Amino acid sequence: MNRRHLTVLLLAAASWGIAGCGSSMKATKFSNPNFDFAFVERVAVLPFENLSNDRQAGLRATRLTITELLASGALDVVEPGEVQAALIQTGTFQAGRTPIPSTEQIISLGQSLDVQAIIMGTVTQSENLRSGNVQIPVVTLDLRMVEAETGATVWAATHSEKGGSVSAKVLGTGGQPIAETTRECVRQVLATLIE
Amino acid sequence: MRRRSALIIVHLLVPLLGSLCLAGSAGAKVIALFPIQNSAGDSAAASSIDQILRFELSKYGSLVGPERIRDELRRLRVRSGDRAAPALLRLLGKELAADWLVSASLHDTERRVVPRLTMSLRVYSSATGELLWVGFRGASGIDRRKVLGLGTIDEMEKLIPFAVRDLLEELPTSAETSPHTGTQEDRKSSSRLGKVAVVPFGGSTKQWATRNAGTVTEAVRAQLFRSGVVLVSPNLSHEILRQQQSGRWEGVTARTWTALHADAGADTILTGEVETYEVGGSEFEPRPRVALAMRLLDARTGRILWTGSLERGGWDGQGLLGLGRIRSRGALTARMTEILAGRLERAMSKNLRD
């Protein structure tokens, strides 16, 4: 009886371990040691580039980044409508394309939006991976912050997040919505900025 | 012979007197119902809604003839009541001698095994040219299904009367006083959001992005109204957006929030995005899915005060035997906007960002 219990416990521990192996790695981060982040009070978040097949991924990640930045209370974020108007004004906006501004355009955007920094990002992966009967959402996000005065990158981070609880992975009870995984991914990336 | 004639006269007069009394009891309103705004492209359903609405609204007062309304709209070059500036609506109301100007929209229809539709209604005062009441309703043919499939509605034309009646259920006999929230003045003091301007949501759904965004915008407007929030009239905010953003509706620019505050008296601005607005499941058991995000801005500074988002399926949170399932996108949107509006009110009461 005791041996059977031990077997069950070992199996559970092994499953837990397997599930743990699949969980997310720590975010990779760069930050300019010479830049004073306390100087940044207000930022603009440009619409993220989307390299995944999930049509909504860019918009979703942009929106969640704004929400998480606001929720942190550390920074003020410019209203996205005002960002879009400034993108049009500076000639950075092209319908159906993600804006990738030049250094001059970044400086111009910074001035017109009255921000100290601009956050840009790319969603490189946003999909539901199949593992047996369970769908596990995976989201990979690259974010960078550029100084509005110079256009220089002062912070960058990348993170890959696998969704779904351990029980979902082991017992096949179903994964979480991809929006939740994106949110967790955004949180992990921003945690390297707002420490 | 005389007795028979008297009976005939009585039979003819009673319904007439009855309808007159009903109109009189409702404050003898004169109502002008604009042609239905048919975003669904379903002319038969729009025509059916028009007829049912006419019948139901006749309980509130007398209706202006549709030909006369069409002539006046054409003469004053008004395409939609929701897009006519308040001054133009006042003029229209005066020309039609109407007290209420009613604008209805058919947002979407799905003629499937289980028919589904989404519609909304706005009542404008001809005295002010501004919004008096707004309602939103999503319905499916199996919303009223009972044991052994009793109560199932399998045709759009049979579903429409139920949807219209449900929609008008909350329309007070006198729109100046809402049954839920008292007078407009009471509302101002009861809501922590102040006067809210709802700016049309942006849409990024796979299909019909703008149409779906318009539907959700109406749902949000109706929900805020139900919650007792004072709203900037949609025709007024449309006019300001047209002037300041020249036809670009998504997001809010500095010029827009300044104008909404200065010209429309808005304290806050609510806008957002619709990311998912679809129906899955089977033909017999539709499973809608909606994902939407909202943000509230300070109309004085343009600062984001609150953001919130929700992704939900119609079967989420269902009870035993599928009880509590939501089968139409409209009904799911209404439920989600209710949840988000609740979160917004709570967050604002704590003065925190959600």
Phi-psi region of A164 (alpha: psi -120 to 50; beta: other; left: phi over 0): left
Residue extents of the structural domains in chain B = 27-176, 180-354
- Tell me the C-alpha distance between A56 and A132, whole Å: 26
Asked if A116 and A38 count as a contact pair (C-beta separation under 8 A), the reply is no
More confident residue, A96 or A180: A180
- Tell me the C-alpha distance between A67 and A59, whole Å: 12
- Tell me the C-alpha distance between B177 and B125, whole Å: 13
Q: How far A57 CA sits from the closest chain B CA (Å)?
A: 10
Name the H helices within chain B.
Answer: 2-25, 43-57, 66-75, 86-96, 156-168, 184-190, 209-226, 234-245, 254-264, 329-350
Is residue B112 pLDDT above 80, yes or no?
yes
Whether ipTM tops 0.85, in short, is: no
The pLDDT tens digits of the residues spanning B83-104 come to: 999 999 999 999 999 999 999 9
Pick the CATH number of B27-176 from 3.40.190.10, 3.40.120.10, 3.40.50.10610, 3.60.15.10: 3.40.50.10610
Nearest residue on chain B to A83, alpha-carbon basis:
B253
Quick one: CA torsion of B24, B30, B34, B36, rounded to 10 degrees? Answer: 0
Q: Is the dihedral of CA B80, B81, B87, B92 positive or negative?
A: positive
What is the CATH topology of the domain spanning B180-354? Rossmann fold (3.40.50)
Which CATH class for the A25-191 domain? alpha beta
User: What percentage of residues in chain B have a pLDDT greater than 70?
Assistant: 84
CB pairs under 8 A between A and B: 64
Asked if B158 and B352 count as a contact pair (C-beta separation under 8 A), the reply is no
Chain B contact present for A85, CB below 8 A: yes
Is residue B316 pLDDT above 90, yes or no?
no
Q: Name residue, tokens 């917004």.
A: B344
Residue extents of the structural domains in chain A = 25-191
Element (H, E) at A179: helix A178-191
Residue-level pLDDT at B151: 86
CB contact under 8 A, A56 and B275: yes
The answer for A 121-180 residues in CB contact with B (under 8 A) is 177, 179
* Facing residue for B251 by CB, picked from A60, A70, A79: A79
The answer for B 266-305 residues in CB contact with A (under 8 A) is 271, 273, 275-276, 291, 293, 295, 297, 302-304
Q: Which residues from A are below 8 Å from B251, CB to CB?
A: 79-85
| Confidence band of A12 (pLDDT split at 50, 70, 90) | low
Please determine whether the domains at B27-176 and B180-354 fall in the same fold group of CATH: yes
Q: Which residues of B213-225 are buried (b: 16+ CB within 10 A; e: fewer)?
A: bbbbbbbbbbbbb
CB contact under 8 A, B251 and A84: yes
CB contact under 8 A, B302 and A82: yes
